[in-house]
Amino acid sequence: MYKEMVWMNARSMRAQGMSYLEIGERLGMDRRTAKKLCLSETPPHPKRRERRSKADDYEEVIRAWLENRPRMKATLIFERLRLLGYEGSYSVVKRKVAEMREELSRRATVRFETLPGHQAQVDFGLAKARVLSGLASVILLVVLLGFSRFRKTILCPHQDRASLMWGLSECFHEVGGVPHELLFDNPTIPFAMVRN
């Protein structure tokens, strides 16, 4: 099973125009395998072996309790399941609760992946800073590259178009290039897109 990084590298090479044969040679695999990786929309994941436990019959009940009260203790869930007729052990319930918490956490925090140089997220933010006279609000421009997660935070005088353009210019100069796409989070500045 190939790892997620190999999948991302294969797709990146394909986006750069490389053939499946070249990708296979670079990554040390057959061209058919390289093609399969490039055409796959999701990274490869190992298939888990299906195992049944006594807690599986109570999965929907446990999920409902955890969605309602995410911090509910496994001991309390075990006690309540016993009242519903559960006859298994506490360790099985504890494992099931841990799996479901992880699943709920993953659903809540889905990470958006992009290819190198494809996308950057841009947003203005306010922060408190300590100055000689006490605390003051400062305006920050935050630029986050999608693939590398490189983050650049720039102190700006205003939250306007001129500050945005200056901040983006500073960031892209440091990075050494401009991403294909910029994603703005709730822009308060009116933008006019200019296409050549």
C-alpha dihedral, 87 to 90 to 95 to 96, nearest 10°:
40
| Each residue's pLDDT tens digit, 174-184 | 888 888 888 88
Tokens at 2, concatenated: 């190939």
Question: In this predicted model, what pLDDT tens digit does every residue of 97-133 receive, in sequence order?
Answer: 998 888 877 765 555 667 888 888 888 888 877 778 8
Q: Where are the beta strands (DSSP E) in 67-169?
A: 119-131, 134-145, 151-156
Residue identified by tokens 């006490």 is 134
Q: Is the pTM of this model over 0.85?
A: no
Q: Where are the domains of the chain?
A: 4-39, 54-108, 119-184
**Which residue bears the tokens 């994603």?**
183
